[in-house]
Structures are given as C-alpha cells and as structure tokens.
Amino acid sequence: MSGPGGGLVVAVDGGGSKTDVAVLDLSSGQVLGTGRGSGCSHHQLGIPAAVAVVDGAVREALASVGAAASDVVHAGCYLTAIDTPAEQADVRAALAALPWGARSVVVDNDVFALLRAGTGAPDAAVVICGTGINGVAVRGDGATSRVLALGDISGDWGGSSGLAEQVLWYAARAEDGRGEPTALRDALLRWTGRASVHDVTLAVHSGELRVSSWWDRTPELFALAHDGDAVARLLVDRQGEEIGLLAASLLARLDLDRAEVPVVVGGGIGATGDPILVAGIDRALAARAPRAGLTIVHERPITGAAHLSLTHARTR
C-alpha cells in the first residue's frame, strides 16, 4: 500500500510509560492508522528492548491500514532518553536497520514532539514533566539549549520518579522524628503493603522492592497536597518551580529570557494543569523570564511528532 502522494510517513512519540505511532499519507498529511506500545526508555530497558517496543507499535500501526514496511518513505522517532549524541546515534542505527526505517529515519528526544504539539513559534521553550523532567529551548536561527536530563547526576529534580524518591525520604523522616508528620507516610505503606517505612527502606535497599512500583501514585500525592498536607504541598509547589526554573534557564542561554515567547509544558504531570503546580511555574517564570507565556499542552505529543515527520519528509 502507498499513499496517494507516493508513500507513507511514520511518526513516533515514545515516552517512559507509552509509545504512540501514527501512519500518515505523505501528500495529504492524513492520519491513516495508529499504534500504541508500552514505554520505550532505553535507560530502563536497554536499546534492543526499547527498539523492539517501538518496532512492535509501528508494525501494529502499519498493519491497521494494510501497509507494508516498504511503503514508508520516512520515519520520525521522537523518543524519551535520547539525551546524548551517542545515544541518538546508537538508537538511530538500530531503527534504521528495521525494514520501515531503512529509507529515512530521524531520531531525537521526545521534547521536540511536545514542543511542536504546543506551538509553531520559532522562539520557544518546552518542559516535559512525566516519568522524569526534560526541556529544550529553540531560537529561529536554529540554535538550541538543552540539559542532560539524567536525573540527580545532571542536576535534575522531579517527575514521578523523582517525586517517588522524595515521598520515601519524607516518610522515613516523619516516622523516625527527624521530619514533620505527613500523610505521605501512611500513603506509602498502603502503596507497598508494608508495616513501616523502616521495612520499605530495607526492601528497597535489598532490591526486593523498587521505588518505581509507586511511580504511578503521583496523583495521590497531588490529592494530599490539595487536602492540606504540608509536605505534599511543598513537593507539588517545588515541582512547579522546577519546571519554571528549567524553562527560564534554557531561554536565558539563548538570550530569550526577556522576550515574549511561549513556554510549553506537558507530560503526565505537566499536562495536569494543577493549580498548585501552575502557581509554582508562574512564580519561577515571573522572576526569571517575566515576558514568557505559559501554555499547558493537553494534546497528545504525537501530533507534534507527526508535524515534524511530515515536514522532514517533504523537504529532505
């Protein structure tokens, strides 16, 4: 099968918790089929397993419209954890070896898909806050600024993975008296089925329990913040400030921190538009990039991946 314009374009938005695929007609841009897979972070899975997740979702999408891999003229893969040139090259080589990636494939970080799902402005910043946190700023002349987004070791804070670690830290201190009481302690015990935070800590230390087992409990953290728990509110507020601080610092590197530019925020946490979170973002932007305008993206980032993929296929 080929589209009326002579071929198909595959767009992929791959995150830590899900992988979305769209098959598009090159000529019209119409979405012909879709596919979905699990998270494809090579930091968690390794490159072969992460590529297998992407491949499965792409093949599902192609099969949904009766298309063959040979019909794909270009694939744009915007994936989580593409944080260094070496990672980008290694993942691209693995995807280019697949039948649907053989003719043309671009691999880049999923922040670019979210950016173009939220704005077409040439000067802009984007922060994705989901499993982790990452961001990029772009300027109309092609310049970009980024962070490594490797967690604590590169100065990053937050996302569901970082917040989960903070819940354990505050719960441990609440239990032994070094910190103030918090409902997060009881919540953590419910999530893990343990009798004490002491037991949770030992289980994590031994490898019997993984902090990732409560990454998906972030909505309960936010609910406790709104119920008045001071520690939970502190964490949500700090997460908002960190999002705003990251965006502002990226803009400053491109001399855009005093310009009227959009700041796009999305991801599983960022897209919630939670009032406490947004207040923290606004506060940080007001201090560091006062003319920036916040845009919360509720639209799925696959739309941005589709735009980027079609543009590349039509201009290469």
Give me the residue label for tokens 């995807």.
95
Please state the rounded mean pLDDT for residues 97-114. Answer: 97
Q: What is the pLDDT of residues 152-208, one digit of tens each?
A: 999 999 999 999 999 999 999 999 999 999 999 999 999 999 999 999 999 999 999
Domain ranges in the chain are: 8-110+301-315, 111-298
| Closest by Cα among 83, 122, 88, 128 to 105 | 88
What tens digit of pLDDT does each residue of 32-46 get?
999 999 999 999 999
- Which pLDDT score, from 0 to 100, does residue 2 have? 47
Closest CA to 237 of 252, 251, 250, 224: 224
Per-residue pLDDT tens over the stretch 252-308: 999 999 999 999 999 999 999 999 999 999 999 999 999 999 999 998 999 999 999
Give me the pLDDT at residue 6, please: 62
Residue 54 three-state SS: helix
pLDDT of residue 5: 47
- Is domain 8-110+301-315 given the CATH code 3.30.420.40 in the classification? yes
Residue-wise pLDDT tens digits, 203-247: 999 999 999 999 999 999 999 999 999 999 999 999 999 999 999
- Where residue 65 falls among pLDDT bands split at 50, 70, 90? very high
Could you give the C-alpha distances from 170 to 74, 179, 214, 230, 231, in angstroms and in order?
48, 7, 15, 11, 8
Domain boundaries 111-298, CATH class = alpha beta
Does residue 147 carry a pLDDT above 90?
Answer: yes
**DSSP class of 195:** S
Do 8-110+301-315 and 111-298 have matching folds? yes
pLDDT tens digits, 122-137: 999 999 999 999 999 9
**pLDDT-wise least confident of 24-28, 142-146, 153-157, 312-316:** 312-316
**59-85 burial by CB neighbour count: b if 16+ within 10 A, else e?**
bbbbeebebebebbbbbbbbbbbbbee
- Indicate if the pLDDT at residue 3 is higher than 60: no
